[in-house]
Amino acid sequence: MPKIFRNGFCFAALALAFSWLLLAESSPAHDWILVHPLASNLAMAANLPAYLVAVLVSGNVHAPGTALVNSAMAVQWILVGQLFAWGYSRLRPNNSFKPNPLRGSA
């Protein structure tokens, strides 16, 4: 598996775990989130595109399926992770966007 995909999946796993930590009622940080709502509001804003996709796919505006929302979140964070991994691989030293010179050209 290419390194970009591996990094994308790792980023998605971390983002989904962080989303669970901030948004789920069963997380150990639930009591802290009740007192500090900014963290959960930011997490909801970050996951809003996935929720909107789940609403469009299910057709139920009031309550799309939990599995559908979770799978849309996973796809969203995998794509974001792969985008960040690609950008990081391009911005490292000695791997810039400049074209490489051809061998044998003077």
> What is each CA distance from 38 to 23, 42, 43, in whole angstroms?
11, 6, 9
How confident is the model over 68-96, as pLDDT tens digits? Answer: 999 999 999 999 999 988 888 777 666 55
How confident is the model over 16-72, as pLDDT tens digits? Answer: 999 999 988 899 988 998 999 999 999 999 999 999 999 999 988 888 888 999 999
pLDDT for 52:
93
- d(Cα 7, Cα 79) in Å, to the nearest integer? 11
- Residue 100's pLDDT band, with cuts at 50, 70 and 90, is low
- d(Cα 85, Cα 7) in Å, to the nearest integer? 6
Q: Is 99 helix (H, G, I), strand (E, B) or coil?
A: coil
* pTM for the model: 0.76
